[in-house]
């Protein structure tokens, strides 16, 4: 399975090496000259996100232990499926033990999953949790943060009940960071959220078409000129962005400035762009290209040589073509395309060896069709010659790598965060078995039972609130 290579580090004095690091984490193949993770000691405790902010050593995750007994384990590493018991302590996987071996803490909650498949939680690389493109939403509420948070809460249930334990949100209202925090604190049921905040585009660019040049419009930030693109990136970082999302249209100087600023802050950049804008973004150092939009063979080869990944997202366009007959009225989609043309782009990307991820880009009310669109996207990958087990590996391990989170997510291995999906059936043989979600564990807590989302356990205190002044 393709992964990003590690960039060779420049030579440093021996004294500096003692300070810098004992192990270099995986970096994208594009240069990230100021990646701050190089300066973290291996024992440092950080937040479980790409920002890697230092925190204290207090225990994390729910109290107690969970053991999944008797399941057939697809661990996402490429190893053969085998019967194993999975032991979870607080919010981490601590070991996988052979059947018949009761090697787990006393008092652990034991859950019988005999005959079911236990696998890493699925990851969706392209979501818009607060999206307001639904005909039933009054126009004044489309960019209303309170309404957007309620929309996000509803969407999170559909994702988590579909076995999707992690979402990468590529453009939402500012409140997305509060949703992320409440899920992280086990106060709401939902998938992990890694958020870009507002996507960044130029006047008249994708998402900002025909809306004038006001800098902030709901889920996007209009930026004009290289300095403003740098400022826009810093604004998203300051709000809490885990990565940066940009869209065409932009100039060469603008896209170069935005990507350079993001990389200096230690964040990856993904781009919704097409035609020659893809060339400009790749030349500027972008880490990923979204969508199956037109590009030349030369651009694809350039993506391969520079380690730029692709999140194909064929499924939203398939829905558009089926529901609406075509993609109309957009100044950022001024080209002819359709289902077969998009599938051809995917074939060319796969043949060239571009690293592929899985994302759905479900806007409007399409999330209500889950898990169907996610499974359809997996089948799109199968249709170009990728095996079903390999596709499940892309949906878990590769997606985690593209999130810059492969040290914490994507496989069932000791030390990884306990984001686990249990389904009735064999999805490694038949992808449609992913509809048979039985149990979902996120961050060590059971959040779906019998296919239905459950609320986190309420916390109680009889103490007076601490004074903040």
3-state secondary structure of 449: strand
Question: Which residue, of 402, 432, 463, is where some domain finishes?
Answer: 402
pLDDT attached to residue 359 = 98
- Mean pLDDT calculated for residue range 303-332: 93
With respect to residue 69, please indicate whether it lies within any of the assigned structural domains. no
Query: Would you say residue 420 lies in a domain?
Result: no
166 and 17 fall within a common domain: no
The C-alpha atoms of residue 339 and residue 270 are separated, in whole angstroms, by 23
SS3 208: coil
- The per-residue pLDDT for 463 is 67
Which CATH number does the domain housing residue 179 bear?
3.20.20.140
Q: What are the tens digits of pLDDT across the range 10-21?
A: 333 333 333 333
Shared-domain flag, residues 5 and 129: no
Poorest-confidence range of 22-26, 142-146, 300-304? 22-26
* Average pLDDT over every residue of 102-111: 93
pLDDT at residue 213, rounded to an integer:
62
The tally of domains found in the chain comes to 2
Is the pLDDT at 298 greater than 90, yes or no? yes
The answer to whether residues 34 and 264 touch, using CB atoms and an 8 Å cutoff, is yes
Residues with Cβ < 8 Å from 140, sequence gap 6 or more? none
Q: Give the end of a domain, one of 382, 402, 422.
A: 402
160 lies in a domain?
yes
145 and 17 co-located in one domain: no
Q: What is the DSSP string of 267-281?
A: --EEEE--THHHHHH
29 part of a folded domain: yes
Q: Are residues 37 and 126 in the same domain?
A: no
Per-residue pLDDT for 41 more than 50? Answer: yes
- Looking at the structure, do residues 234 and 135 belong to the same domain, yes or no? yes
The pLDDT of residue 50: 93
- pLDDT tens column, 241-259: 999 999 999 999 999 999 9
Question: Is there a single domain that holds both residue 22 and residue 127?
Answer: no
In tens, the pLDDT along 369-384 reads: 999 999 999 999 999 9
pLDDT at residue 40, as a whole number:
86
Q: pTM value?
A: 0.91
For residue 362, what are the CA distances in angstroms to 36, 126, 189, 240, 416? 33, 8, 20, 23, 28
Question: Which range, of 7-11, 157-161, 332-336, 361-365, averages the lowest pLDDT?
Answer: 7-11
Residue 158 phi/psi, 5-degree rounding, is -65, -40
Tell me, what DSSP letter sits at residue 26? P
Residue 460 belongs to some domain of the structure: no
Is residue 62 assigned to a domain? no
Answer yes or no: are the C-beta atoms of 265 and 244 closer than 8 Å: no
Average pLDDT, the chain: 90
Which tops the pLDDT comparison, 10 or 407? 407
Range of the domain at 223: 122-402
With respect to residue 441, please indicate whether it lies within any of the assigned structural domains: no
- pLDDT of 212 > 60? The answer is yes
User: 17 with 137, same domain?
Assistant: no
145 and 10 belong to one structural domain:
no
One domain for residues 176 and 33? no
- State whether 139 and 271 are in the same domain: yes
pLDDT computed for residue 36 by the predictor? 73
Residue 289 lies in a domain: yes
User: Which residues face 85 on adjacent strands?
Assistant: 97
């Amino acid at each position: 399975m393709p992964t990003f290579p590690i960039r060779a580090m420049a030579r440093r004095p021996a004294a500096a090496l003692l300070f810098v690091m004992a192990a270099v984490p995986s970096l994208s193949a594009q240069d990230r000259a100021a990646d701050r993770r190089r300066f973290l000691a291996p024992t440092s405790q950080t937040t479980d996100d790409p920002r890697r902010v230092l925190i204290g050593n207090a225990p994390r995750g729910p109290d107690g232990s969970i053991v999944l007994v008797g399941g057939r384990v697809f661990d996402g590493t490429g190893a053969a499926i085998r019967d194993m018991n999975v032991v979870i302590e607080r919010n981490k996987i601590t070991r996988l033990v052979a059947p018949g071996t009761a090697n787990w803490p006393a008092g652990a909650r034991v859950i019988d999953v005999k005959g079911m498949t236990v696998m890493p939680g699925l990851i969706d690389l392209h979501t818009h949790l607060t999206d307001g493109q639904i005909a039933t939403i009054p126009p004044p509420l489309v960019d209303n943060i309170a309404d957007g948070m309620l929309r996000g809460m509803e969407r999170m249930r559909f994702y988590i009940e579909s076995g999707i334990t992690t979402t990468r949100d590529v453009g939402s209202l500012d409140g997305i960071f509060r949703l992320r925090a409440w899920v992280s604190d086990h106060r709401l049921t939902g998938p992990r959220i890694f958020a870009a905040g507002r996507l960044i585009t130029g006047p008249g660019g994708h998402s900002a078409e025909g809306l004038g040049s006001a800098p902030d419009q709901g889920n996007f930030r209009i930026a004009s000129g290289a300095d403003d693109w740098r400022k826009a990136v810093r604004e998203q970082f300051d709000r809490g962005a885990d990565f940066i999302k940009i869209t065409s249209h932009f100039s060469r100087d603008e896209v170069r400035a935005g990507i350079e600023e993001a990389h200096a802050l230690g964040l990856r950049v993904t781009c919704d762009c097409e035609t020659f804008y893809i060339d400009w973004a790749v030349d500027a150092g972008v880490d990923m290209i979204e969508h199956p939009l037109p590009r030349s063979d030369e651009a694809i080869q350039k993506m391969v040589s520079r380690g730029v990944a692709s999140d194909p997202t064929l499924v939203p366009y398939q829905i558009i073509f089926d529901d609406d007959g075509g993609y109309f009225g957009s100044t950022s989609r001024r080209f002819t395309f359709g289902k077969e043309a998009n599938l051809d782009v995917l074939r060319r990307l796969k043949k060239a060896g571009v690293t592929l991820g899985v994302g759905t880009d479900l806007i409007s009310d399409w999330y209500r069709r889950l898990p169907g669109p996610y499974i359809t996207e997996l089948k799109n990958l199968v249709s170009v010659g990728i095996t079903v087990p390999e596709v499940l590996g892309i949906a878990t391990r590769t997606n985690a790598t593209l999130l810059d989170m492969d040290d914490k997510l994507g496989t069932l291995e000791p030390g990884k965060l306990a984001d686990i999906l249990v389904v009735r059936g064999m999805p490694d043989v038949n992808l449609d078995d992913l509809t048979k979600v039985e149990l979902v564990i996120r961050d060590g807590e059971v959040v779906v039972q019998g296919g239905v989302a459950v609320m986190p356990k309420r916390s109680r205190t009889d103490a007076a609130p601490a004074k903040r002044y």
